[in-house]
A and B are shown apart, each in its own frame.
Chain A
Amino acid sequence: MSGDLIETQGLTVFYGSHRGIRDVDLTVRQGEVFGFLGPNGAGKTTTMRVLLDIIRPTRGRASLFGLDCQRDGVAIRKRVAYVPGELALYGNLTGRRYLDTLDRLRGRRAAPFYRRELCDRLGLDTTRRVAEYSQGNKKKLSLVAAFMAKPDLLILDEPTGGLDPLVQQTVLRMVQEARREGRTVFFSSHILSEVQAISDRVGIIREGRLVTVERVDDLTAQPFHRLRLSFAQQPPAEAFQIAGVTELDREGPSVRLEVRENLAEVMRIAAAIGITDMETQPVTLEEVFLAYYGEKGVDRHGQGA
C-alpha cells in the first residue's frame, strides 16, 4: 500500500439518469485531515457512501487501506467509523444502549473510560432515550459512537452541523487529537473556517466533479495581495483605478484593495496621498470557495469555469 489511505479512480455514480458524481479521482493520505467541500447536492455524501459500500459505483473504483470498497467491505469497515450527515438513530434505545449496541455490532468493545470521557467532553447524557434527544444531542451521540471505536479512518459528514459553537470547538479538537494519534479524517463541512483551521488538504467538488485538491495553505496563498490602506484624509475616488487593482470597498479615509499587479505603483500613489497605516489581509478559504462557486462560475484566477 502506498501512503494513500483512500483512493478513487474515475469514480462515477448515476442515480438512474441523474448525476451523483463523475470521474472523481481522489487520494487521501494516511494520517491527514482531509476537508471535502461543496454545497448540498454537489456529491460529497455520495462519495462517502461509495467508500462505505452503501452505494455501488456506476463506473470507476474506490479503495480504502488498499482494499476494494465493494469486495472487501467488511474488512474495511472494521477500521472505519462514520457519522452520517442525515442522522437517523434507533430512537427506542437509551444513549448508553445505543453505544453498547454499536459496540457489539462492531465486534469490538470500546474502552469504557474513553467512551465516558467523550460523553463528558461533549456534554452528552446517555441515560435518556434517543427519541428524546435534540438534533444536537443526536449528533453528539453519533460522534461518540464514531470516536469511541478509535478507528483508523473517520468519515464525518458535516460533523459539527447542529452543534453549538463551544461543542463545535470540542469536536474540532477531537479531530486534531485523532490526527495526532495517526488516524485519518475525511470530513465534509459547510463551515469553511473550521475546514481551514483543521484540514491539511481540501478537495472542492462541484456538480459531481472534483475541481481541485490542494493543501489549505496553497489554496489560500493567492497570487494577489489584499490590502487595507488608511490615509489622513479621504483619497480621491479614482486614485487606485489602475490595471490589476480592484477597489473592494472604502470606509472614510480607508480603502480596501485587491492588487494582482502594479503593487509598486499602488505604494507610490499611497505615499503621495499620505498613507498613515497599511494592513495586509489574508485570503480565507471561504473566499477561495466562493470564487469556485461564484455566481458567474468564475474561478479564482478570473477564468470562466
Chain B
Amino acid sequence: MDRVLSLLWKELRERRGAILWWGLGLAVFGYVVLYLYPSLADQMAAMDMPEVYQMFGDFSNLGKLKNYLAVEAFDVMLVLTLGFYAALTGSGALAGEEETGTLETLLALPLARWHVVIAKVAALGLTLAALLVIMAAGLSLGLNHVASQRPVEYDALDMLWASLNVWPILMFYGTLGLFLGAYLPSRGLASSVTAALLVVSYLVNNLGRLVDVVRPYRPYSPLYHYSSTAVLDGRVVWSDELLILGFTLLWVVLALLSFQRRDVTVHIWPWQRLSARRRAAQRE
C-alpha cells in the first residue's frame, strides 16, 4: 500500500502545474461569469429564445441565477471543457506514459499492474476534485459580488456542491479514456475515441431536446443522467448518480483487466496478440 501511495503522490506532484493553471483559469472564469451576472440578468430574462433555453436544459428563463449558472458554468464550461481535460488525462495516464517510455521504468519496479491503475485513477479523481473546488472558490467570490447588488438564494457551500456534482460525469469520461488507453494500441486513438464519445453524447443530449429524431436516444447519452441544476434545487437524483458511478467502476475494472494483459511498449491490438498465441499453440 505504501508503494501505491508513493505512486499517487508522484502522480499528483506531476499534475501540480496542471492543477494550478487549469484551476486558476476555472476560478477566474467562475468569478467573471458571476461578476457579469447582475448586468446581464435583465437582458437574459428579456430574451425570447425558447429553443435555446430548451437546448441547454428545461429552462424558461436564463435570467434566473440557477439557470444562468447551469448554462454558463456547469454545462458548457465544466462538462465540456473539463470533460475534454478528463478524457485526455485519463487516456494519457497509461497510454501516454507508455508512449513516452516512462511506463517501462515504472513497471520494472516492484509494483503490481493494479497498483499502477489504482494510483492513476486516484490521481485523476483527486485532480478533478481539486479543480472543481478551485472553480467553486471562484464562483463563491463572484457570488459575493452578486449578493452585494441583489438578494441571492445560494451560498459558497451551494457553489461547492454544484461544482462537485460534475465530478462523477468527469470521472466517467476520465476512466473511459483510461480503459481505452489500456486497451487500444495508441494514446492518440484512445483520446480521439474518448473525446469523440464526449462530443457525440453532448450533441445527442442537447440536440435531442429539440430534434424529434434524436430524442429517443437521449437516455443513452451519459450526459442525460447529469443534471447541472439538481443540486442547486437541493436534490440529488441517486439513480442517475449510481448509474454514472457504476459505469465509472466498470471502466476501471476493464482498465485493470486490459492493462493486466497488455504487452507494454508493444502497440498492437489485443486480438493480434491472441492470434499470435493461437498460431504459436498450433505450431506446438
Residues of chain B in range 88-134 having any CB-CB distance to chain A below 8 Å: 100-102, 104-112
Q: Contact size class for A?
A: 35 or more
Q: Do residues B277 and A58 form an inter-chain contact, with CB atoms below 8 A?
A: yes
Assuming the A-B contacts A15-B266, A105-B10, are A58 and B261 also in contact, with contact meaning beta carbons closer than 8 angstroms in the complex? no
Contacts of A101 in B (CB 8 A): 6, 10
Residue-wise, chain B 241-284 has the 8 Å CB interface mask toward A (1 for contact) of 00000000000000000000101111011001101110111001
CA distance A281 to B284 in the complex (A): 46
29 A-B residue pairs with Cβ-Cβ distance under 8 Å, sorted by A, are: A15-B263, A16-B273, A16-B275, A16-B276, A17-B276, A49-B104, A52-B108, A55-B265, A55-B266, A56-B263, A58-B273, A59-B284, A74-B110, A74-B111, A80-B108, A81-B108, A82-B105, A88-B100, A88-B102, A88-B104, A104-B10, A105-B106, A105-B109, A105-B110, A105-B111, A106-B3, A107-B2, A107-B6, A155-B108
Q: Do residues B280 and A84 form an inter-chain contact, with CB atoms below 8 A?
A: no
Contacts of B111 in A (CB 8 A): 74, 77, 105
CA distance A142 to B10 in the complex (A): 18
How far in angstroms is the closest Cβ of chain B from A297?
24
Interface of B toward A, CB cutoff 8 Å: 2-3, 6-7, 9-10, 13-14, 17, 100-102, 104-112, 261, 263-266, 268-269, 272-273, 275-277, 279-281, 284
Q: Do residues A105 and B263 form an inter-chain contact, with CB atoms below 8 A?
A: no
Contacts of B272 in A (CB 8 A): 15-17
Interface of A toward B, CB cutoff 8 Å: 12, 14-17, 49, 52-56, 58-59, 73-75, 77-78, 80-82, 84, 86-90, 92-93, 101-102, 104-107, 142, 155
How far in angstroms is the closest Cβ of chain A from B216?
41
Closest A residue to B100 using CB positions: A88
CA distance A102 to B110 in the complex (A): 10
How far in angstroms is the closest Cβ of chain B from A185?
15
Closest A residue to B107 using CB positions: A54
Contacts of A52 in B (CB 8 A): 107-108
Q: Do residues A49 and B6 form an inter-chain contact, with CB atoms below 8 A?
A: no
Contacts of B269 in A (CB 8 A): 16
How far in angstroms is the closest Cβ of chain B from A35?
20
CA distance A93 to B13 in the complex (A): 9
Most buried by B among A81, A86, A90: A90
Q: Do residues A107 and B100 form an inter-chain contact, with CB atoms below 8 A?
A: no
Contacts of B107 in A (CB 8 A): 52-54
Q: Do residues B265 and A54 form an inter-chain contact, with CB atoms below 8 A?
A: yes
Most buried by B among A58, A80, A87: A58
Q: Do residues B6 and A84 form an inter-chain contact, with CB atoms below 8 A?
A: no
11 further A-B pairs in the complex, CB-CB below 8 A; given A77-B111, A82-B108, A93-B13: A14-B280, A16-B269, A16-B272, A53-B107, A54-B108, A54-B263, A56-B263, A74-B110, A90-B10, A104-B10, A142-B105
Contacts of A15 in B (CB 8 A): 263, 266, 268, 272, 276
Q: Do residues A106 and B277 form an inter-chain contact, with CB atoms below 8 A?
A: no
Top 8 A-B residue pairs of the complex, sorted by shortest distance between their CB atoms? A88-B101, A16-B272, A14-B276, A82-B108, A104-B6, A59-B280, A77-B110, A78-B110
Q: Do residues A90 and B102 form an inter-chain contact, with CB atoms below 8 A?
A: yes
CA distance A273 to B102 in the complex (A): 65
Contacts of B102 in A (CB 8 A): 88-90
How far in angstroms is the closest Cβ of chain A from B175?
23
Q: Do residues B6 and A55 form an inter-chain contact, with CB atoms below 8 A?
A: no
CA distance A142 to B104 in the complex (A): 13
Contacts of A107 in B (CB 8 A): 2-3, 6, 110
Contacts of A84 in B (CB 8 A): 101, 104-105, 108
Most buried by B among A49, A86, A93, A155: A49
Contacts of A73 in B (CB 8 A): 112
Closest A residue to B16 using CB positions: A92
How far in angstroms is the closest Cβ of chain B from A138?
11
Assuming the A-B contacts A89-B102, A90-B102, are A55 and B263 also in contact, with contact meaning beta carbons closer than 8 angstroms in the complex? yes
Q: Do residues B264 and A55 form an inter-chain contact, with CB atoms below 8 A?
A: yes
Contacts of A105 in B (CB 8 A): 3, 6-7, 10, 106, 109-111
Q: Do residues A87 and B112 form an inter-chain contact, with CB atoms below 8 A?
A: no
Contacts of B14 in A (CB 8 A): 90, 92
Assuming the A-B contacts A55-B264, A73-B112, A105-B10, are A89 and B105 also in contact, with contact meaning beta carbons closer than 8 angstroms in the complex? yes
CA distance A164 to B272 in the complex (A): 41
Closest B residue to A51 using CB positions: B108
CA distance A77 to B3 in the complex (A): 13
Q: Give the contacting residue for A77; candidates B2, B108, B261; CB below 8 A.
A: B108
Q: Do residues A102 and B104 form an inter-chain contact, with CB atoms below 8 A?
A: no
